[in-house]
Each structure stands twice: as structure tokens, then as C-alpha cells.
Amino acid sequence: MNISSQLSENPGLIVLIDNPTEEDLLKVIYSKNTMDSTIRDLPDEFITAKGANVALCLSKEWSKDSLNIWFSKFYPHVLPEDQLKVFKSIYNYLPVNPWSGKDIDLFIDLFSKVSSPTSNLIDYYLAICIKDHRLGICKYYYTEPIHQYYIIDSALTSNIAGKLNDSQQKAIIDSFFNEYIHIDTNRYVPYNSGSLKLVYK
């Protein structure tokens, strides 16, 4: 029995294969016995675009640590046309906190590592972050006649700088206004402010 035929049951054996094939890689990816350490130690030169796509689109209950390891290993090999598909899968299987829901902070962190996000991926990313209130204004406190707010802008990662189209810029700007804010009286600073407070009378 050769090593390749044993990979589904013993994926760690892939380190003994001098030139693993894409089929070998897929056996390791699909194996329920694959440990994060096995993925971390895979030689990058043997990872294919198909393997990377499959690995990050698994129907898998990720832990934060596991997702970080798999993402770091496989995402650099994902083709631009597969970015959106991969991130949709990642979002669907994000680790879930019973009190706060999906780990959107992890989602933002993973997106921030994409050096050249496609426009479709940026559209999807912004929609998720706006829906989850990671872009906008939150009331800090209220004392008549002053309303004090802070900008929520954690979703404005450096890798989208200079890449936003008009509709994406509008979506971001629109997210900073809601029914509690008088648009004609608030002071708005249109950049990644880092919880900059807004005060108006």
C-alpha cells in the first residue's frame, strides 16, 4: 500500500511524499483527521488554486485559530475570480459566539489581509459590515442640548484605500447617517477616524 492511498485516514503522512499531487492535497483537505499543524506545515509550492478554493469553502465549523491557519496557508493561492465565493463561504461558517453572534471582527481581520480585493468582494464585505453595524454612528450619550456620538469605522481597512467606486463610497457615507442624526447640523469627517466623537448642538 503506497502512502498516497493512506492520506484520507492519515493525512499527516503527506510530509513523506516528495512531490504530492493535487489529488493528494485534496485527500488531506477533505480528511476529517487533518490537524491544523498538518495544514500549517504544507509546502506552499504544492498548493493549487483548486485546492485552496476547496479548502476555504468547506462546510466546516471553524474555530478562530483553525480558520486563521487555513486562511493564511490557502488564501494566497485563491484566484481573483474565486475571492467572492471564498468569502461567502467563510462568512457562512464563521465561529459563532452565543451572545454576540458571528465573529465579524474575525471576518474584518481576514478581509484586511487581502492585498487586492476585487470590486465584487468589496461590495459583499461592505454590505456585511453595514448590516452588522461595523460602519455608522452610535450614540455615546445624550444630555440636553448636546448629543454626543462616536463613529464606528472598524470596517475601513487599509486595503480598500483607492479601490472604492462611487457606489461603494456612497454606501459608506450613507452608513454614517441615521434617523437620530440631523444631517444639517452634525460635523462629519469622511475618513477612518478611529472612534472620533461627533458633537453637535
Q: What is the pLDDT of residues 141-159, one digit of tens each?
A: 555 555 666 778 888 898 9
pTM above threshold 0.85: no
Phi, psi of 141 (to 5 degrees): -160, 165
Q: Where are the domains of the chain?
A: 1-46, 133-201
Tens of pLDDT, residues 81-128: 999 999 999 999 999 987 878 999 999 999 999 999 999 999 999 999
Tens of pLDDT, residues 155-176: 889 899 889 999 998 888 888 7
Q: Per-residue pLDDT averaged across 63-67, rounded?
A: 96
Whole-angstrom distance, CA of residue 128 vs CA of residue 11: 35
**Which residues are CB-contacts of 56 (< 8 A; sequence separation ≥ 6)?**
70, 71, 74, 75, 78, 86, 89, 90
